[in-house]
Structure 1
Amino acid sequence: MRNTQWTILGERVLDESRHIRLSTADIRLPDGVEFTQYVARMPRCAMTLVLNDSREVLLMYRHRWIVDQWVWELPGGYVDHTEDVASAAAREVEEETGWRPRTMQHLVTYQPAIGTLDHPQEVYLARGADLTDTRPDVNEAEAIRWVPIDEAVQMIDRGEIIGAATVVGVYRALTLPQLPPPVDGSPRSTTMGN
């Protein structure tokens, strides 16, 4: 195996905010070819796959305007600069859904598009959650629903779940050796809004 590495000749910041740093990088390939590429760097995000004893996953229904599509996804968001990642993931669940996770366990870390984007994503597993008095943020979700994990897989197949964190989290949860057996019961849902 050859140990060849791309050489960064320079990087120029085009725009920067607390949510993104956009730049161009001049690159030289091992064969000498040079080119310029856009690079986006974004802060760490933490999402949580909340799983109850009935093998249901807590999902939020929301409109993602960039792709102009209504989708189901896990609760989550940016990790504040000095915040513990697991604490951030639990905080996002409660703020966005009104449910407080009982436990937090790291499930998987991944990068969604490492060719041009540096955006670490961490998915946590929460086994169980308690409904709180926290009113979910109406700007975050139209509906909140407990969905059987097998149905979540079908939702991925139908294109109702397209976000990488939710797809990765659901598929990763299927590999857990201690996944609880199904319990009879119907999914519970909460509709947000007026």
Structure 2
Amino acid sequence: MGTGETRWTIHGERVVDENRHIRLSTVDVELPDGVRFTQYVARMPRCAMTLVLDDQPRVLLMFRHRFIVERWVWELPGGYVDHAEDVATAAAREVEEETGWRPRSMEHLVTFQPSIGSLDQPQEIYLARGADRVATVPDVNEAEDVRWVPLTEAVAMIDSGAILGAATVVGIYRALTLAP
């Protein structure tokens, strides 16, 4: 266990690029043994995703193309939290915009950082128990398909690589620990 003291010395930071979606910088770091190096650091806005479960239990998933990894994958609905927006409100808004389903309730489930060694991007997952259909077709720019998937099948989708995103993996595995 650490003492809580900072053991690394930061000698400076230089912004490489910055916009509303990312701040990329290089940081000059010195380790306790005197070794110095430059580390790239990316800072991105808080994201909120929602694990929507029905009583069967099934999870609401979106099928979408992620060009960065050149794959079609299944994911939880979610996105960036606007600066002044309440995180639970943002999570519920994203579900409705991306899937056409409105969550009946919102409860904080877990917060995590997906790649804490070089990326600062808080991820918050909310739990919604049940949802009401408010639109018949998902936004074509958001999802190719939206489905209710049995929780056990969603776990198998992680194993097969059909689910890759950290927030979806964390949310589904966290759902396994919830009381029915």
- The alignment's TM-score, normalised by the length of structure 2, stands at 0.96
> Which one of 92, 117, 131 corresponds to residue 129 of structure 1?
131
- The alignment's TM-score, normalised by the length of structure 1, stands at 0.89
What does 1:1-194 align with in structure 2 at a 5 Å threshold? 1=1, 3=3, 5-133=7-135, 135-177=137-179, 179=180
**Residue ranges of structure 2 left out of the alignment (5+ in a row):** none
Q: Write the letter of the residue equivalent to 1:22.
A: L
State the shift of 1:2 in Å. Answer: 5.2
SS in 2 for 1:113: coil
**Residue ranges of structure 1 left out of the alignment (5+ in a row):** 180-194
Q: Write the letter of the residue equivalent to 1:49.
A: L
Alpha carbons 1:95, 1:135 under 8 Å: kept: no
Alpha carbons 1:58, 1:146 under 8 Å: kept: yes
Alpha carbons 1:102, 1:129 under 8 Å: kept: yes
Structure 1 segments of 4+ aligned residues over 6 angstroms from their partners: none
Change in CA separation of 1:83 and 1:150 when aligned onto 2, cut-off 3 Å: same
State the shift of 1:137 in Å. Answer: 1.3
Change in CA separation of 1:159 and 1:21 when aligned onto 2, cut-off 3 Å: same
Measure, in 2, the Cα distance between the counterparts of 1:79 and 1:134: 25
State the shift of 1:76 in Å. Answer: 0.2
Alpha carbons 1:10, 1:25 under 8 Å: kept: yes
What is the Cα-based RMSD across aligned positions, in Å? 1.1
State the shift of 1:75 in Å. Answer: 0.2
Measure, in 2, the Cα distance between the counterparts of 1:144 and 1:52: 14
SS in 2 for 1:96: helix
Percent identity between matched residues is 76
State the shift of 1:136 in Å. Answer: 2.4
In the TM superposition, what whole-angstrom CA distance separates every residue of 1:156-176 from its partner, at most 9, and x where no partner exists? Answer: 000000000000000001001
Measure, in 1, the Cα distance between the counterparts of 2:8 and 2:140: 45
Alpha carbons 2:138, 2:145 under 8 Å: kept: no
